Amino acid sequence: MAKISIFGGGSWGIALAALLEKNGHQITVWSASAQKIDMLRQNHENPMLPGVKLGQDVIFTTEDSAAVEGQDLLVLSVASSYTREIAHRLSRLVAPKQKILNVAKGIEAHTLMTLSEIIEEEIPQADVAVMSGPSHAEEVGRGVPTTIVVGAKSKSTAEYIRGLFMNEVFRVYISPDILGMELGGALKNVVALAAGIADGLGYGDNTKAALITRGITEIARLGTAMGGKFETFCGLTGIGDLIVTCASMHSRNRRAGILIGQGKSYEEAMAEVGMAVEGVHSAKAAMELARKYQVQLPIIEQVNEILFAGKSADQAVKELMLRDKKLEVSDLPWPED
């Protein structure tokens, strides 16, 4: 049995807490919100994840030291925009080589850093890993078979974390490509906004398939330019996560996109969804990275125009369709005429 703390009492954190508790571990759930902790102590359930009950042995706390000191693993499941704040807050308490697993997805807008890079900057003594893949909290909480990837700098750390999480309904692969995993997880949220916008406009399966396929091309184009591995973008944390996020109504990014496609602003859409819509935060960062690494991201560029420049969704689709004629795969040779 391991002692594991979950930082963040949202739906994903609670789903993972339930999974880890089922695996026989001692679970502590931390939140900065005393109101949320009181609610969890009373109900042992997050109302955003109905039916997923935590046991009576789970500890709920707002105290930093109680959630950090002596724990075998710290799982950071806070919105990406709060990752630096929470990491900074916990830094003085984290022991050398203490393991931290980040399960959120995003890119910090003003630094263009991935979330693991933020954690390593704020807590340099920690052993930082990431987990990503096609995994809605609503399904993980109900025990629906799910596959996911743990990335770490050392194989032993990845294998240790895999052993904590893996069971008959939660299969865990491991990877050394932390950067590729994080870029796939962050950028797919932007493409999922585009997929939702297309749904909101009333488009069909053809459009969705095109957005998913060309979307992963954009993600891999930028990701490999930054040093990620192409194979990662072909796997669970790339195309796998993109498919589930673009296709499912569990996806808050897709749901926000639908509302935007129906004419609402991104602020209105985020308020109606009622949870963090990470794609909005990652969209600007993606374009900054595209300029830095001199790659073209036409879908992500149009999402930015819709979100932040007032462009209509209809006009954005027309511009995507009428771009200069291209080869689908530019390095395939043609036979001689």
Among 3, 36, 53, 188, the active-site one is 188
- pLDDT for residue 266: 86
CATH 3.90.45.10, domain 3-176, yes or no: no
Could you give the CA distance from residue 288 to residue 306 in angstroms, rounded to a whole number? 16
The full length of the chain comes to 337
Could you give the CA distance from residue 333 to residue 310 in angstroms, rounded to a whole number? 41
CB 18 within 8 A of CB 86: no
Report how far apart, in Å, the C-alpha atoms of 60 and of each of 43, 99, 156 are: 11, 20, 30
Residue 147, beta-bridge partner list: 171
Could you give the CA distance from residue 258 to residue 333 in angstroms, rounded to a whole number? 39
In CATH, which of 1.10.1040.10, 3.40.449.10, 3.40.50.1110, 3.40.228.10 is domain 179-321? Answer: 1.10.1040.10
Q: How many Cα atoms are found within 13 Å in the side-chain-facing hemisphere of 16?
A: 30
What's this model's pTM, rounded to 2 decimal places? Answer: 0.93
Could you give the CA distance from residue 236 to residue 181 in angstroms, rounded to a whole number? 9
- pLDDT for residue 274: 82
Residue ranges in the chain whose pLDDT is less than 50? none
Domains in the chain: boundaries: 3-176, 179-321
Q: Is 264 noted as a catalytic residue in this protein?
A: no
Domains 3-176 and 179-321 share a fold: no
Q: What is residue 238's DSSP assignment? A: I
- pLDDT for residue 281: 86
Q: For residues 37-73, b (16+ Cβ closer than 10 Å) or e, as one string?
A: bebbeeebbbeebeebebeeebebbeebeebbeebbb
